Amino acid sequence: AAAGGTAVLAILYGGYRMAYIDTLTGLPNRRALDEALSRLPGNYALAMIDIDHLNGFNDTYGHAAGDIVLREVGQLLRRHAGGRAYRYGGEEFCVVYEGRESEKPLPPLERARKAVGIQRVDVPAPAPKRARRNRTPADTKQVSVTISAGCAQRGPQRRTWEDVMKAADAPLYKAKQKGRNRVVAA
């Protein structure tokens, strides 16, 4: 009976992980974010975060290298952003700041931005086209990336989480227009 109960728990846990955890970054995924936001009471702030120029990075180094960068950025956000980090999709993340954390999300977001910018990541080096067949696994290159972030708080004009997320998207695009690698608040 104990073995059967353990097997059932393992199956349930596996199903939960498949449904709510992003397998690449280990962060909660978009489904988990949507559910968390739908239950969020009181004061909160949301930050929308985008890895700058990841598509160009993937074109240069390949998608496997882009995956390495996504994992590293996800872990840096988990450690430094000050709120709960989620993988939103593609090269985007969302950080949720609840209660007292929601009052001052910009300092931890700025710390996370700096942490990402100084982190060196080992990725497979792009080989010249003629030498691709002779490439060895030891051919790596250290790279760094930057992030841009937009942040907004719940308030009288932003009552639903959809309103707050939309409000956080606008300063994210302002950050990109101003040259990227910055945090902008609504």
Question: What six digits make up the tokens of 144?
Answer: 């760094």
Contact 70, 27 (CB under 8 A): no
Q: Which residue has the tokens 């999709």?
A: 89
Give the distance from CA 41 to its chain's centroid. Answer: 23
CA distance 95 to 97: 7
Q: Where in the sequence numbering do the catalytic residues fall?
A: 91
**DSSP-H helix ranges across the chain:** 2-20, 30-38, 54-61, 63-80, 106-118, 161-177
- Give the three-state DSSP class for 166: helix
DSSP SS3 for 146: coil
- Amino acid making up residue 180: R
Distance CA 62, CA 56 (A): 9
Distance CA 46, CA 122 (A): 30
